[in-house]
Structure 1
Amino acid sequence: MIRVYENEDITKYYIEFRPKYQDCVVEEVLRFCNENRASKTDENRQQVMVDVACGSGQATTPFQKHFENIIGVDVSPNQIKEARLANDFENISYKVGTAEEIPVESGSVDLLISATACHRFDFAKFFKEAKRVLKPDGCMALFSYAPRVTPMNVVDPIIREELADKATNLLLKYHRNPTDEQSNIYCFGKYQDIYKKVPAKNKKWIKDGLVMKYDWSLSQLLGYLRSNAAYQEYMKMMKEKNKDASEDEVKKWDRALMLRDFIKREWKMKGVNDDNVMMRADFSVFLVLANKLTV
């Protein structure tokens, strides 16, 4: 497992600016689970769910009302600390652990999920571990998303979409991780390659149709970008290459500031406070669903 999102700076950005998964995703995952459960006695509430690489709980808490017990697992003690501080539910708990060594009993899990993370796993070890912890009819859901940002201050629909394309393309460019090309391939391919890898008798790939919608400010978008490993890895790499760079020099290659300046210029919002530059942030979710692992 490639280890990122562990230091305190990135975990602070992560819990504040990462979007929580919405009901449309939860419903799609549970639909697959209910269709493949051996027992249909209570389709509204199952027993145990585990969220692997849970971060600070963005995908954990949306499932809260559907399970008797939910365990979030993450390799980062800082992420687990933030998740615990933000947790308001008695049926959710958090543990430090990895995708390759999940700290739960064998054959105890109804649903195993991982959101915005599995592209960094050691799949050979993870799939074996997933099979170990899942019940015979247990399901696995691996998912992530791709963002799109659209200005709210532009009335003309053609111009608005053109500006959305430009800003989104730059944002996606900054999503590319300079030190982890394999993760880039998985994410930009909407997990198709991961779907092909999953050893299961029953599996499903959903690449279109699920969109989470948010009204965001430019400040929120920049916080979201700073919460990404690609941004953090790039900044780390550039600072190591330019150890004596001044603050003004750093600003010239800080991707968050470059994105901010681009959006304000293109959207004709120069001089407007970042909190007042409003946009629609759409996150297209892609999922890999599996049942009866065969590894």
Structure 2
Amino acid sequence: MKDLFSQQSEAYAKYRPTYPQELYDFILQQVPTKEKAWDCATGNGQVAVKLAEYFEQVNATDISERQLSQATPAQKVHYEISRAEETPFPNDYFDLITVAQAFHWFDFEAFHQEAKRVLKPEGVIAVWGYELLEISPDIDPLILEFYENVVGPYWAPERHHIKEKYSRISFPYREIQSPDFEMVKDWTLEDLAGYFSSWSSVQGYKEANEGEDPVPELIKQISPLWDVDTRQEVIFPVFLRIGINNL
């Protein structure tokens, strides 16, 4: 698994959107026993903290020490550094495994082998991600141009899995059909700029262009279409793949 987020871990923790309750409700409906959960590639810990509301114990792992340093503490959550593909957990240990916006970075075959090992028989695995944000017919084309052409060359190749909603990644579980979801945020223009700054492709652009930050130019283009004194609705489409470990 690649670590592309340590450098901007503070911005990642501050500006990354949070997932809707409806997503958690759907996942939890599939999990009859709520003893232990593993949030893999936890990042800032937002999913782990949410799972702690329902599970007796949550293990949350990430390969980035800096990411974990930004994670939210919670009584039932134990954070530790670990690769997704090789963990210290016992066999048949977890009722639920979650992977949020990180599955595309994994060595899929090795991860599935590990997930099946640590997941209980009939345990549930849920992996999800979110697509490019949507704001308005005037603003969306500017963001798409920035995403594809300005910082597009600096996205890691694995990014294409997001566009495909993980549909071409092997998923050797008894899959459950799921609806699509949305994250809806109420953001200022400053929030929007902060979110763009957390993109790994923006960091790649800066490294390749002597530190030049491409985000201010994008915000300058968006600014006339956004009342700087107001908040605006921002929508992130969310997709989910969920399955049962049938060994």
- In the superposition, the TM-score normalised over structure 2's length comes to 0.91
Identity across aligned pairs (percent)?
26
C-alpha deviation, 1:211, in angstroms: 0.8
Count of residues in Structure 1 that have an aligned counterpart in Structure 2? 246
Asked whether the equivalents of residues 170 and 259 of structure 1 are also in contact (C-alpha less than 8 Å), the reply is no
Larger Rg: 1
CA distance in 1, matches of 2:223, 2:86: 45
C-alpha deviation, 1:95, in angstroms: 0.6
Question: Residue 260 in 1 paired to residue 235 in 2?
Answer: no
Pick the aligned partner of 1:54 from 42, 50, 70: 42
**Structure showing the higher helix proportion among its residues:** 1
- State the partner residue of 2:53: 65
CA distance in 2, matches of 1:3, 1:112: 20
1:120-164 deviation line (CA, Å, top 9, x unaligned):
1011110001011100111111111124342xxxxxxxxxx4214
Asked whether the equivalents of residues 148 and 282 of structure 1 are also in contact (C-alpha less than 8 Å), the reply is yes
Asked whether the equivalents of residues 93 and 120 of structure 2 are also in contact (C-alpha less than 8 Å), the reply is yes
- State the partner residue of 1:204: 176
Report SS of the residue matched to 2:42.
coil
Which runs of no fewer than 5 residues in structure 1 stay unpaired? 35-42, 151-160, 240-244
CA distance in 2, matches of 1:61, 1:215: 22
C-alpha deviation, 1:31, in angstroms: 2.1
CA distance in 2, matches of 1:268, 1:22: 25
Asked whether the equivalents of residues 22 and 62 of structure 1 are also in contact (C-alpha less than 8 Å), the reply is no
Pick the aligned partner of 1:92 from 67, 71, 77: 77
1:204-236 deviation line (CA, Å, top 9, x unaligned):
354x53111110011111111111212212222
- State the partner residue of 2:98: 113
- 277 and 236 in structure 1: CA distance in 2 versus 1, 3 angstrom threshold: farther
C-alpha deviation, 1:113, in angstroms: 0.6
Please list, as runs of the form range in 1=range in 2, the aligned pairs for 1:1-295 lying within 5 A after superposition.
1-7=1-7, 10-34=8-32, 46-83=34-71, 86-87=72-73, 89-150=74-135, 161-170=136-145, 172-173=147-148, 176=152, 178=154, 180-181=156-157, 183-194=158-169, 197-200=170-173, 202-204=174-176, 206=178, 209-239=180-210, 250=212, 254-265=213-224, 267=225, 269=227, 272=228, 276=229, 278-292=231-245, 294=247
Q: Which amino acid aligns with 2:194?
A: G
Which runs of no fewer than 5 residues in structure 2 stay unpaired? none
- 16 and 162 in structure 1: CA distance in 2 versus 1, 3 angstrom threshold: same
CA distance in 1, matches of 2:246, 2:204: 34
1:171-191 deviation line (CA, Å, top 9, x unaligned):
54367462522x221011111
Asked whether the equivalents of residues 18 and 58 of structure 1 are also in contact (C-alpha less than 8 Å), the reply is no
